[in-house]
Amino acid sequence: MPADPADRPVILGGKPARPAGPPAWPINDADVQESLNASFRDGSWGVYHGPNVERLEQELARYHGVDFALTCSSGTVAVELALRAIKVQPDDEVILAAYDFPGNFLTVLALGARPVLVDLDSDNWNLDAEQLEAAMNSRTRAIIVSHLHGGVVRMSRVMEVARRHGVPVVEDAAQMPGGQVEGRRAGTWGDVGTLSFGGSKLLSAGRGGAIITANREIHHRARLVCQRGSNPYALSELQAAVLLPQLAKLDARNAIRAGNVKRLRDSLAGVAGLQALQNSAVDSEPGYYKVGFKYEPGILGDLSRERFVEAVRAEGIAIDAGFRSLHVGRSTARFRAAGNLAQAEKAHHAMIVLHHPVLLDGPAQIDEVVKAVNKIVTFREAIQHEASPSPRDSA
């Protein structure tokens, strides 16, 4: 075993692979600063109806190749507006993956509808389009499809099934703005797409979201939901101002992220017990808000996922466990399970995700992530038997 402290994990008294810790987000951006300054100079930062929101909606529609975009106060509100705009009512059923952002599940419940959970594709732990048809019945009113952790759902198959049954689709692109799904922008396959501009997102305004659609009636109904004298779900002019320069750079930044993810995946390909998500959808380029991996503790000497995550975070790497699967810890009265959720159960226990800011760094910083993982794998038996210390704050 290496004796140099730099080769030992921090959790065993060594030195961190990334001493500076995870990169800050959002990054310093001179164009964002100038947009803020311009908004201050012209006074648009503090008005109800200035130029920035209107321009952002126009640019979002143009960028996605659709006719309409409507901004709002969060990605969660965007999903709610989308569901209301396709007329989801109490007692309707809405299908979604059993592993998804919990806000989507809770939004369905907030509308009085019932979530119907379907299992995941075994390769990328996103919604399995082949299981949609069996989940449908006369009460099915909508399907929510999320692309998560670098996984891509086969939207051509989703839309084929949905169209045959006359069921509208909400495509949640919160984790992959600008990504490509079978040759189209993420969010544009569905009847309505949703975006998030939360503080940790690739397009960040602290809070915020949007819907995008080619359907005039859906756009009109969503706008009507917001009209209550004033818009209770509004994105501010200041938020729109900081999003515009980020949108202009999104493709270039996504290309950097994609290159760094390739380097990361290639470098970790030989690590037994750690498997990158695999996509079968052709002509697709995932987005990388998170980079997902399947973790197999049995191959790594029974080192638990939680202990692995703790050890890698101590190296200065922003890695976490994935979501809790939606069927876990909830009363079955709150949802209907459409068949066996075996893959969602596996994802609940075994998904790990790397946060995106490091993906805009250079190759040397990506190699620090690889070094951190390799240190933990090398010393896995010692880490497994070492008493867990107070975790190093790597946030």
Q: CA triplet 318, 323, 327: central angle to 5 degrees?
A: 170
CA dist 265 and 30 (Å) reads: 31
CA dist 38 and 208 (Å) reads: 20
Q: In this predicted model, what pLDDT tens digit does every residue of 130-148 receive, in sequence order?
A: 999 999 999 999 999 999 9
Close Cβ partners of 279 (under 8 Å, ≥ 6 residues apart)? 123, 124, 150, 151, 152, 286
Residue 173 or 391, more confident: 173
Average pLDDT over residues 278-289: 96
Residue 395 confidence (pLDDT) above 50:
no
Q: In this predicted model, what pLDDT tens digit does every residue of 58-69 receive, in sequence order?
A: 999 999 999 999
Domains annotated on the chain, with CATH? 5-11+250-385 (3.90.1150.10), 30-248 (3.40.640.10)
- DSSP for 189-219? SSSEEEEE--TTSSS-SSSBEEEEES-HHHH
Q: In this predicted model, what pLDDT tens digit does every residue of 335-356 receive, in sequence order?
A: 999 999 999 999 999 999 999 9
Average pLDDT over residues 90-116: 98
Residue 391 confidence (pLDDT) above 50:
no
- Residue 298 has a pLDDT of 87
| The residue count for the chain | 395
Classify each residue of 193-207 as buried b or exposed e, where b means 16 or more C-beta atoms within 10 Å of its C-beta.
bbbbbbeebbbbbeb
- Residue 333 has a pLDDT of 96
pLDDT band per the 50, 70, 90 thresholds, residue 301: confident
- Residue 124 has a pLDDT of 97
Q: In this predicted model, what pLDDT tens digit does every residue of 33-81 receive, in sequence order?
A: 999 999 999 999 999 999 999 999 999 999 999 999 999 999 999 999 9
- Residue 4 has a pLDDT of 74
Average pLDDT over residues 159-180: 98
- Residue 198 has a pLDDT of 97
Tokens of 125: 């732990």
pLDDT band per the 50, 70, 90 thresholds, residue 3: low
Residue 393 confidence (pLDDT) above 50:
no
User: Helices (H), strands (E): how many in the chain?
Assistant: 13, 14
Q: In this predicted model, what pLDDT tens digit does every residue of 197-248 receive, in sequence order?
A: 999 999 999 999 999 999 999 999 999 999 998 999 999 999 999 999 999 9
Close Cβ partners of 361 (under 8 Å, ≥ 6 residues apart)? 23, 260
Average pLDDT over residues 165-173: 98
Average pLDDT over residues 143-158: 98
- Residue 388 has a pLDDT of 52
Residue 392 confidence (pLDDT) above 80:
no
- Residue 7 has a pLDDT of 87
